[in-house]
Structure 1
Amino acid sequence: MPTILITGCSSGFGLETAKLFLARGWDVIATMRTPNEDLLPASEHLRILALDVTKPDSIAQAVQAAGHIDVLVNNAGFGAPSPIELTAPETVEALFQTNTIGTLSMVQAVLPQMRQRRSGVVVNVTSTVTVKTLPVVGIYRASKAAVNAFTESLALEMQPFGVRVHIVLPGRSPETNFGVNARPHLRGMDDPDYAPLLQQFVKNVQDDTVPVTHASDVAAAIWKAATDPSAPLRIPGGKDAELWMAEAGW
């Protein structure tokens, strides 16, 4: 069976994707910064590896331990909503280091074996916040838009070598740790100028009357990218993602 390596499997989209591919008989390499054997069902088709995509040594060790990889899914990342003016420099650096450079580093580490074999699939998970302009998520949006940009070029570069490249764009999901992980970085709630904007942002995030993205939607989109040679470059990862991308003409 084919082998898939997925980053960021400790929760949310990555965990759900690992479960889906395991259930369908694939060999799954689930990676996370702190390995937890209890998150996934025991299986002879499962390996759990430690991986921090911000650390070159960790990437090198994980890729070497993984061996043969047919499909690479770059899912690891985090969000930090905050007005651009108030976003701490260390938060900006962390966002780009994890979301952009971490994804790029994984691609560069795995592509050589795929190119040499003339086969393979790379799936980069970004976000539909890149589809239209929104306040408060500007730096996060930029870090994901950068991934969209280099992935589009990568798809062209890999065509001669038989390696497919795709972008999966999830919408807003209540089933991830995005809000929990982002909360320490949020600034401006006590600022008289920015507080109304941030309060509206929080209200929008908590709105359960509109379509949202479920982790299973993203796993299904990744499955399509991995298994369907006719899959488009950009694949929406939820009902709201489909709507936003249609509105934008993507």
Structure 2
Amino acid sequence: MKTVLITGCSTGFGRDTALHFLNQGWRVVATMRNPAASTLPTSDRLHILPLDVTDADSIAAAIGQAGAIDVLVNNAGMGWLNAVEGSPLETVREVFETNLFGAIALMQAVLPGMRERRSGVVVNVSSSSLYKPLPLLSVYRASKAAMNALSESAAHELAPFGIRVRVVMPGMAPSTSFGSTAQGHVADAGGFAEPYADYARQTLATMMEAANGPVTEAQDVADAIFRAATDADCPAVLPAGADAIAWAEVK
């Protein structure tokens, strides 16, 4: 029985991905900052562990309990919605710590075992926002662009050891908590910088209108992640969701 470790499983993409692997007969290590908040079902093949991807001790503890990992899914992420000028450097660092450095730390933790077994897959969850230069997502998109660049080069480094690296690019998903999380971070920062306030209101209104069209469901992302993990012939980069696929085709 193969084992997948997935980060950020409390809600949204991570939760649905954990369920999908579980339904396919896998042993699932579902990690999250607060396991008490988990709504995942009980199963002898499901192991829920606390994990903060920005904390080295937390990573070491989770990996120590997880056992041999066949597939790592770096799904944990932090949203941020603001102009560059209005983004405190402390927050910028937090976004990169979660979206990029945390993924690197997890890769460094599991790759030695995969390399010794000469087998394994790393699936990094990025964002279809990279297909378009969307405003107010500059910091967030930068962190995800770095994730893509990391994955592309790591794929070449790891191929000689039988390890594959894939990227999944989800579209807009109103059914997840990502949007509300991003809005919450804006509120924490005191809103948009004054010169950008009117522009931000207009831009957000346009984004909300776009959400009335084809969007991504969490299951779309779970399906794409499972394909990336199990299909050796799938593309290195997979858009996930109707809107993401459309954006990828016209980029």
TM class by shorter-chain length? Answer: over 0.9
Please state how far the C-alpha of 1:153 moved relative to its aligned partner. Answer: 0.2
Distance, in Å, in 2 between the alignment partners of 1:38 and 1:189 is 30
Question: Given the alignment of the two structures, is residue 163 of structure 1 paired with residue 163 of structure 2, yes or no?
Answer: yes
Name the amino acid aligned to 1:100. Answer: L
1:78 offset after TM fit, Å? 1.1
RMSD over aligned Cα atoms = 1.5
219, 222, 229: which one aligns with 1:219: 222
Identity of aligned residues (%): 52
How far did residue 176 of structure 1 move?
1.4
How far 1:38 moved relative to its partner?
A: 4.9
Write the letter of the residue equivalent to 1:209: N
The answer to whether the 8 Å contact 2:7/2:76 transfers is yes
The equivalent residue for 2:135 is 135
1:90 Cα deviation after fit = 1.4
Offset of 1:204 from its aligned partner? 3.0
Alpha-carbon distance, 1:189 to partner: 5.4
Distance 2:4 2:222 in 1: 13
2:208 to 200, 206, 209: 206
Q: Is the Cα contact below 8 Å between 2:128 and 2:169 reproduced in 1? A: yes
Q: Which residue of 2 aligns with 1:234?
A: 237
Q: Distance in 2 between matches of 1:36 and 1:177?
A: 17
Cα deviation for residue 132 of structure 1 reads 2.0
Provide closer, same or farther for how the CA distance between residues 64 and 223 of structure 1 changes in structure 2, counting only shifts above 3 A.
same
Q: Counterpart of 2:88? A: 88
Counterpart in the other structure of 1:42: 42
Superposed, 1:65-76 pairs within 5 Å as 65-76=65-76
* TM-score, normalised via structure 2 length: 0.95
SS at match of 1:122: strand
Gaps of 5+ in 1: none
2:195 alignment partner in structure 1: 193
Cα distance in structure 1, aligned partners of 2:36 and 2:97: 24
1:161-215, Cα deviation, whole Å (9 max, x unpaired): 1111100000111011112212233268575531232112322332243211110
Q: Please list the CA deviations of residues 44-99 of structure 1 after superposition, one character each: whole Å capped at 9, or x if unmatched.
A: 11000000000011111111110111000000011111011011111101100100
Q: Distance in 1 between matches of 2:128 and 2:190?
A: 24
Equivalent of residue 244 in structure 1, options 241, 244, 247: 247
User: Which amino acid in the other structure matches residue 214 of structure 1?
Assistant: E
How far did residue 21 of structure 1 move? 0.8
The offset of 1:41, in angstroms, is 1.1
Q: Is the 8 A contact 2:83 2:192 kept in 1?
A: no
When normalised by structure 1's length, the TM-score is 0.95
SS at match of 2:212: coil
Q: 1:42 to 1:142 in 2, by over 3 A?
A: same
8 A contact 1:80–1:95 mirrored in 2? yes
